[in-house]
Structure 1
Amino acid sequence: MFLAFDFGHKRIGVAVGDTLTGTARALPALRSSTQPDWPGIERLLTQWRPEALIVGLPLDEDGGEQDITTLARQFAEQLRRRSGLCVHLADERYSSRAADDALRDARASGRMKRRVRKGDRDGEAARVILEQWLAEQSIR
């Protein structure tokens, strides 16, 4: 079992998944306005008992770092120290675009009956990040 985080200035998307199925599902996003919701993260760690954590690393299209890349690295390091678990960084380029596409498809097909909420995109992006990471692990 793994937990993935899509770090953002306002919210942190979260997803859970495993290597058995190679799939993940989005969980409700956590707030992140002034600092991460550590009590919320600790509840997730207790509930899911992951073997490792994955944090999306926001890079620009050319693979260069942005201002938020540094913040995501700091979040990953804090997560490692607080949880005592191994934290993997995963390239998250295009995950938000893939999340938007998946949410749009879910609404159009009727799988998602309600309107898309702000945190939905963040959780869906975390799901994309985790499934890509799981796929890379199965190749190795």
Structure 2
Amino acid sequence: MPDSAEETISDMASVILSGTVLAFDFGVRRIGVAIGEYELRLAHPLMTIDQAMTKPRFEKIAELIETWQPVLLVVGLSVHADGAEHEITRLCQRFARRLEGRFGIPVVMEDERYTTAIARLTLEEVGITGRKQRPMLDQIAAQHILQTFFDSSHAAS
């Protein structure tokens, strides 16, 4: 991975102008996955990988990559509200490095502050509350991560 987020972003924007993008909301227990097309810049929830063990997680991700053939992967970067790093920040960065190393697909980190809260509110707005949110929450958060990436200036062609 390049030395800085700015290098990664500018490199990706200048090279990747079309194709499928997968996004991940990394968690210790679950990983939310979203999908979108770079040209359309619309993100959609795809699935939640409900597995804490690394090997089955990466097996499922390998299936998704085989099926969807993404040109770019976006991983949510978990930080405190003030931008300070915490333990999950390092795990997100490690996950991103593993994705790039295993699959050889460029990876971009995207700030994921408040995405789970936004996902929770989104589900509540359509009447899905409490425990019924669990199967969808992480993939909706991944959708918000990907949509933020698409909407940001660094995703512009």
TM-score normalised according to structure 1 size:
0.89
> Aligned AA for 1:134?
F
RMSD: 1.6
- Is 2:92 the counterpart of 1:76? no
2: CA distance, partners of 1:18 / 1:93:
23
2: CA distance, partners of 1:39 / 1:52:
18
Paired residue for 2:72? 52
- Superposed counterparts of 1:31-110, under 5 Å: 31-35=50-54, 37-107=57-127
> Aligned AA for 1:80?
E
The number of residues matched between the two structures is: 134
1: CA distance, partners of 2:145 / 2:39:
17
2: CA distance, partners of 1:2 / 1:24:
9
SS at match of 2:52: coil
Instruction: Indicate how the Cα distance of structure 1 residues 60 and 50 shifts in structure 2: closer, same or farther if over 3 A, else same.
Output: same
What fraction of aligned residue pairs are identical, expressed as a percent?
A: 34
Q: Are the equivalent residues in 1 in contact too, given 2:75–2:92 (CA < 8 A)?
A: yes
2: CA distance, partners of 1:34 / 1:138:
32
Match of 2:137 among 102, 121, 127: 121
5+ residue gaps, structure 2, are: 1-19
2: CA distance, partners of 1:33 / 1:139:
35
**1:20 CA displacement:** 2.6
**1:8 CA displacement:** 0.2
Q: Are the equivalent residues in 2 in contact too, given 1:8–1:32 (CA < 8 A)?
A: no
Match of 1:14 among 25, 30, 33: 33
> Aligned AA for 1:7?
F
SS at match of 1:116: helix
Displacement over 6 Å in runs of 4+? none
Q: Are the equivalent residues in 2 in contact too, given 1:11–1:119 (CA < 8 A)?
A: no
Instruction: Say which is worse superposed, 59-68 or 31-40, in terms of deviation.
Output: 31-40
2: CA distance, partners of 1:86 / 1:53:
6
TM-score normalised according to structure 2 size:
0.80
Q: Are the equivalent residues in 1 in contact too, given 2:123–2:133 (CA < 8 A)?
A: no
